[in-house]
Amino acid sequence: MADRNDVSLFARAWVVASPLLERVGLADSRRRLVADLHGTVVEVGAGSGVTFEHYPPEVTRVVAVEPDPHLRAHALRYAAGAPVRVEVVDTVAEALPLADGEADAVVFGLVLCTVPDVAAALAEARRVLAPDGELRLLEHVRADGALGRVADRIAPVWSRVGGGCRPNRDTARRLDEAGFDVSGLRTSPFPPVFPLTPMLTGSARPRSPGRSPGPQ
């Protein structure tokens, strides 16, 4: 895992990079990420808050979790100008500040690559989701074939300079193992920038109790 100095260097770089990424196409991806949501939404690892402007008016409350102080300060600024109510909270994915079943949706955008304990983060997401709630995802994942093997090789260095980001996580498998139905997710080669591709996007809902993991 990256040390404190690396993470804050990354945070400074991300504040500059994230609005630029919006301009080269990520804005559309983020809009789709939160499109048609309603009610109470948890945005995990909100970063500098660039997604806030895309929430539709049917969302009544966004609880934006962000552990990094530098990014959180920027998120607070974006929250003040957001079209919906946004509360920015200092905590982590592994300890969400909501009661069981309180959230209509949990949003993960470019964050499951970074959280240290993916299983704990997904268990927390599942705990706070309402029975008919959903996860929304925009996550870069390990590529198949040679690119995946390169991602495996560069992962230690990439993680060190990228604030803990792992370019080779099999996030769909982790979701499946955590009890989510992954049939509503797809991977696409956008952005065409290795190792931030392919991108896993879409919606995943908790599987009904008793249904086993794997292809349904």
**Mask for 151-170, x = binds ligand SAM (CB under 6 A):** --------------------
Phi, psi of 133 (to 5 degrees): -80, 175
Range 3-32, binding ligand SAM (CB under 6 A): 14, 18
In the complex with ligand SAM, the residue whose CB is nearer, 44 or 88, is 44
Residue showing the smallest CB distance to ligand SAM in the complex? 47
Does position 135 bind ligand SAM by CB under 6 A?
Answer: no
Range 43-72, binding ligand SAM (CB under 6 A): 44-47, 50, 65-68, 71
- On the CB side of 67, CA atoms within 13 Å amount to 16
DSSP E strands in the chain: the ranges are 39-44, 59-65, 86-89, 103-109, 129-140, 180-181, 185-188, 199-206
Tokens representing residue 110 in the block: 């470019």
Strands 185-188 and 199-206: antiparallel
> Number of residues in contact with ligand SAM, rule: CB under 6 A?
21
Nearest by Cα to 114 from 160, 173, 154, 176: 160
In the complex with ligand SAM, the residue whose CB is nearer, 121 or 207, is 121
Does position 111 bind ligand SAM by CB under 6 A?
Answer: yes
The residue within the footprint of ligand SAM, chosen from 29, 74, 105, 109 (CB under 6 A), is: 109
In the complex with ligand SAM, the residue whose CB is nearer, 44 or 84, is 44
Q: Exposure of 46 by Cβ count < 10 A (0-12 exposed, 13-18 middle, 19+ buried)?
A: buried
- Interface residues with ligand SAM (CB under 6 A)? 14, 18, 44-47, 50, 65-68, 71, 92-94, 109-111, 114-116
